[in-house]
Amino acid sequence: MTGAVRLRELRADNAGNSAIVFALLLPMIVGGLALATDFGMWRMSGQRLQLAADAAAVAAAHETYLTDDVGALQFAAMGMLHENGLDIADATITINTPVASGNHAGKEGVQVSVTQRQSHFFSSLLMGGDVDLTREATALIIEPTEPLCILALDPTEPAALNVTGTADVAIPDCAVQSNSIAENGLELNGSSTLTSSCAYVSGGVYGEANITLNSCPAVKTGWRRASDPYDDLDVPSGIDQMPCETPGHGPRRTMTMASGRYCSDISSNGDLTLESGGTFIIDGVTLRLRSANASLVGENVTIFFVNGGTIVLPNGGFVDLTAKTTGEYSGLIMFADRHTQPTDLNVQLNGQADTRLEGALYFPNQTVDFVGGSSSDSGCTHLVARQVNLTGNSSFTNAQCSALGVREILGRSGVLLSAS
């Protein structure tokens, strides 16, 4: 009896049950607190990692304002990661340009992926091992919508795009851009004026009060450099094997040039006519109009300048040239070889008020002094040069460039941090 009573008493006694339950639950409670603590720390670490990746992607994208060198972009990104407290030696970093993956794969921009191993400070006994945190950022390069009619390629020269004197330059339906990072990369001085849709400069502008813009509220300074629109083209192969031609002479000082290579100076005081549809190689010599009464006329032509060859129209002669509308060099009236043309060889284009240049003029190594200009009859006039000096009244237009086979020139503008 006594044993049975004792057993019933023990069964009825529930003192200490809570302690037992607590002891059983304690590992789960501690583990949960440890996981919550570690999760909070991982979240904070992930946020810091994301901010560092964002800053690195934007910094590298902005570096493209100055260079297209992938190594320089990577250096900029790594430097920004370091500035944001990331131990680069303890992280796995991938930098891609253009964007390599995600919704924007293949687009122009910079993608930065950062992986860093995080320890389980409190929950390591439960889970073991470390956790890899990965964060990714994508900075896109956004193209401006306004096409360019004038582009100065020089990256550092002051007044790389210069409107001077009493020049009145009208470019109502397209924009201008200077790639120079100088504080006066775009400069207007004297009483000169410029009217265009927009104006972009990688550096700064001097004389902005003399600029009227139709589509932009102000000159866009600090802008990303525009790419050379013809950097994929070279002069035709084998031209150094072509025979040298000489111009034909007609009555009253008229001259004609057949399609071909010219190795002796060409100087005209009268009418100079280029063979329609021809290709002309000015090889180490000068094509010159010597009189304001002289003229240079050619339809569907391309003129190449190599080995220091150049053109000089110093006295306001009449010029009427149109580019070919088909073929590899479609839309190009003049094309200077970037490999053999010296930078100190200026090009002088001094036309009359009714000069017509229908197509693109391309002098990537040289300064073009453009005095006087294309008439309102021109459906398309583009000028791309290392430096551009506009010293006379002139007009440029983009109106019929597409129909005439002239490449569209688009600058590259801002940086947009985007979700991957």
Instruction: Give the confidence band of 58 by pLDDT, cuts at 50, 70, 90.
Output: confident
Instruction: Give the confidence band of 36 by pLDDT, cuts at 50, 70, 90.
Output: low
The percentage of residues in the chain with a pLDDT greater than 90, rounded to a whole number, is: 41
State residue 104's pLDDT score.
86
State residue 375's pLDDT score.
52
State residue 358's pLDDT score.
92
- pLDDT tens track for 109-123: 899 998 887 765 555
Q: Region 337-365: what's the mean pLDDT?
A: 87
Q: Which position has the higher pLDDT, 208 or 33? A: 208
Reply yes or no on whether the pLDDT at 11 is more than 80: no
Reply yes or no on whether the pLDDT at 24 is more than 90: no
State residue 28's pLDDT score.
61
Q: Region 34-61: what's the mean pLDDT?
A: 75
The percentage of residues in the chain with a pLDDT greater than 70, rounded to a whole number, is: 81
Reply yes or no on whether the pLDDT at 77 is more than 70: yes
Look up the pTM and report it.
0.72
Q: Which position has the higher pLDDT, 396 or 366? A: 366
- Across all residues in the chain, what is the average pLDDT? 84
State residue 376's pLDDT score.
46
State residue 411's pLDDT score.
75
Instruction: Give the confidence band of 412 by pLDDT, cuts at 50, 70, 90.
Output: low
State residue 242's pLDDT score.
96
Reply yes or no on whether the pLDDT at 155 is more than 50: yes
Where is average pLDDT lowest: 67-71, 155-159, 345-349? 67-71
- pLDDT tens track for 238-276: 999 999 999 988 677 889 999 999 999 999 989 999 999
Question: For the chain, what is the HEC assignment?
Answer: CHHHHHHHHHHHCCCCHHHHHHHHHHHHHHHHHHHHHHHHHHHHHHHHHHHHHHHHHHHHHHHCCCCCCHHHHHHHHHHHHHHCCCCHHHEEEEEECCCCCCCCCCCCEEEEEEEEEECCCCCHHHHCCCEEEEEEEEEEECCCCCEEEEEECCCCCCCCEEECCCCEEEECCCEEEECCCCCCCEEECCCCEEEECCEEECCCEECHHHEEECCCCCCECCCCCCCCCCCCCCCCCCHHHCCEECCEECCCCCEEECCEEECCCEEECCEEEECCCCEEEEECCEEEECCCCCEEEECCCEEEEECCCEEEECCCCEEEEECCCCCCCCCEEEEECCCCCCCCCCEEEECCCCEEEEEEEEEEEEEEEEECCECCCCCCEEEEEEEEEECCCEECCCCCCCCCCCCCCECCCCEEEECC
State residue 392's pLDDT score.
78
In contact, 119 and 87? CB cutoff 8 Å: no
Token output for 258: 């057949």
Top-ranked range on mean pLDDT: pick from 37-46, 89-98, 385-394: 385-394
Where is average pLDDT lowest: 285-289, 310-314, 327-331, 377-381? 377-381
- pLDDT tens track for 188-247: 998 999 999 999 999 999 999 999 999 989 998 888 888 899 999 999 999 999 999 999
Q: Region 71-93: what's the mean pLDDT?
A: 85
